[in-house]
Amino acid sequence: MGFIQLWPLVFLILIPLVIIMYLLKQKSEDFLYSSTFLWEEVYKNMEVNTPWEKLKKSLLFFLQLFLILFFIFLLMNPFIESNNNDTENLLLVIDNSGSMNGYYNEKTRFENAIEGAIHYLDTLSQETSISIITIGNAPTIELSNTRDKELAKDTLKGIEPTHMSANMEESLSLITSITDYWTEYQVLFFTDQDIHIENINGQIVPFDNELSNVSMDYVSHSHIEGRLHIMAQVTNRSSVNQSIEVNLYGDGNLLNIERVSLEPEETKIIQFNDVTFDGHIIQAEINESDDLIEDNIAYDVLSSTNVSRVLLGTNRNIFLERALLTVPNIELYKTSDIEDISRIEDYDLYIIDGLAFEQLPRGNVFLINPNTNPFVEVNQTFEGGVLRAQDTLLTSNIEMLNFAVRELKNIQGTHYMDTFLQLGDEKVGLYGESDGQKIVVIPFDFHDSDLVLKPEFPILMHNIMEYLLDSNILKSHTFTAGEAVSFHAHTRGSSITITKPNGENEEVPIRFPMLDFTNTKEAGIYTATQTIEEETLTEYFVVNFPQEEKIRGEPVIMDNNQQTQQSIRYGRMDLTKYLIMALLGLVLVEWIAYILDSRR
């Protein structure tokens, strides 16, 4: 047996008070006696009125004393450990998603879940096989089929909460596949999600308490006529009116403050106009604390622009030159001699239009009407026709493009490339990546087609240049917790160092294809750093708390079937309801004893 509360023991001071009241109580009645018995009765009365003799025959005293002790016992919330959890296999499912950071009985939901799971392990028989999985953006098997309770407890203590959303559908699929191999099992869910487990022999320990929560949904920016405008959205997810202050920060410095009032479930957009800031990170934060502080902050990044050096090798292509002049953030250099390209200084992109070369350039390459070179082999020409765009990133917004070509070159050695232009079943427009170099191939002369006359031609050139000139380390700068971060690796650079919000560093090695960075469990500001020769490139990206984890103030209402799954908590039997019935019975007995005593 155990007790949840110990503070009711202070009521033990009532027991001496009750005893003192009985000792001081005087009980005298007038009776007529024969004079021969007078002195004998006086003697007996003197003996009875001694202090401790008063308590010997008082049934009411002992009942009231026992009633006080029983009431104190009831207030201590006693329970009996249930030691009959002898299932053959137990699967503990711990929800460590973002909403489990909300507070529940002065601790977070996650902390209560871990404590409950550890306590439940103590009630298991020694023969029970224990497995543990966590629910995040993907379920993770933390422990599999062990009878070592201490190892299971250490595993539970080592699980950390995240800010990711819960992928419950994938988790239930994994649980089903695990339990299909077990003949006897029990699954115990510690979660605040509304889940349905009809086909699983499981029970739910819910953490869906009512709470007070106002969330910062997002913050974004735009430049209008050279001025910075910032927009933030807040939502009152509680059941009462809220009045909050929203602080706007730029690189950690306070830029502005706005106060907003919200009714229950109301969403409002806050505008910060003409903001003076030329840094990197914008942060909007709710000033007041609530039951889920993790969703009180949202981030955005003002991406920096890098000027790229582009070398155009061509005899003369006025259509291509004019299209390139419309591409922003490039420095264009032209030449008609690239035979010894290895002696030409480094450029970010080499556009080679019909010229021959034998050495590999270091940057990305755009080949137009190519001859045989280190990237592709040209066999012969063949008759052209109508080329059609394929649905790719190079043909974004111009998927319906089609144009005529008089003749094309037959390109070989392109097995690693994808197609963005096609002639019937023949793949002609190609793009891909080889050893860290991006390559685009257009196997015809622009002068032999009507492509340059199409309104889609400048858009195609912009798409190709955007693909080839991605000189930043990062492909994107804004993510939600659990999303993978992709990189543009510089082949001449070091491994990429990621500095997480908690200050820890993690290395992403250079390889092809590049692996994504997936350790975005925590919302906050991250830094990506890469050293190229003697130059260090630094970029920022931010991870925001996911929308689906911003918990509502009211608890989730589960259907009747789900309510029946919540009856067992932590392997203990609560004695409160039985003790209340016993207490009522004692009060009735005490009342009857009082009536009988008063009639004597």
CA 194, 198, 203, 207: dihedral to nearest 10 degrees? 0
CATH number of the domain where residue 187 is located:
3.40.50.410
Residue 234 lies in a domain: no
Residue 53 lies in a domain: yes
Both 449 and 347 in a single domain?
yes
Total H helices, total E strands in the chain: 10, 31
Question: What pLDDT score does 563 carry?
Answer: 39
CATH number of the domain where residue 506 is located:
2.60.40
Residue 293 lies in a domain: no
Distance CA(31)–CA(42), nearest Å, equals: 12
Both 27 and 119 in a single domain?
no
The string over 150-185, giving b where at least 16 C-beta atoms fall within 10 Å of a residue's C-beta and e elsewhere, is eebbebbeebebbbbbbbbeebbebbeebbeebeeb
Residue 257 lies in a domain: no
Both 344 and 462 in a single domain?
yes
Distance CA(155)–CA(142), nearest Å, equals: 7
Both 388 and 512 in a single domain?
no
Residue 219 lies in a domain: no
Do the Cβ atoms of 523 and 300 come closer than 8 Å? no
Residues 6+ apart with CB under 8 A from 39: none
Task: Give the chain's residues under pLDDT 70.
Answer: 1-5, 22-59, 79-85, 304-306, 340-345, 470-471, 489-492, 512, 550-575, 597-600
Residue 396 lies in a domain: yes
Both 538 and 564 in a single domain?
no
DSSP bridge partners of 431:
418, 440
Both 441 and 361 in a single domain?
yes
Domains in the chain, number: 4
The string over 309-340, giving b where at least 16 C-beta atoms fall within 10 Å of a residue's C-beta and e elsewhere, is bbbbbbeebebbeebbeebeebeeeeeeebee
Residue 473 lies in a domain: no
Question: What pLDDT score does 93 carry?
Answer: 95
Question: What pLDDT score does 569 carry?
Answer: 43
Residues 6+ apart with CB under 8 A from 515: 508, 509
Both 440 and 561 in a single domain?
no
Question: What pLDDT score does 304 carry?
Answer: 62
Both 378 and 313 in a single domain?
yes
Question: What pLDDT score does 46 carry?
Answer: 55
Question: What pLDDT score does 52 carry?
Answer: 47
Question: What pLDDT score does 26 carry?
Answer: 55
Both 67 and 199 in a single domain?
no
Domain residue limits at 393: 308-468
Both 191 and 131 in a single domain?
yes
CA 360, 362, 363, 367: dihedral to nearest 10 degrees? -10
Both 160 and 112 in a single domain?
yes
CATH number of the domain where residue 340 is located:
3.40.50.880
Residue 221 lies in a domain: no
Both 438 and 498 in a single domain?
no
Residues 6+ apart with CB under 8 A from 320: 312, 314, 351, 353, 368, 446, 461
Question: What pLDDT score does 212 carry?
Answer: 87
The count of residues in the chain is 600
Q: Of the residues 425, 442, 468, which one is the last residue of a structural domain?
A: 468
pTM of the complete model: 0.60
DSSP bridge partners of 367:
352, 441
Q: How many CB atoms lie within 10 A of CB 463?
A: 20
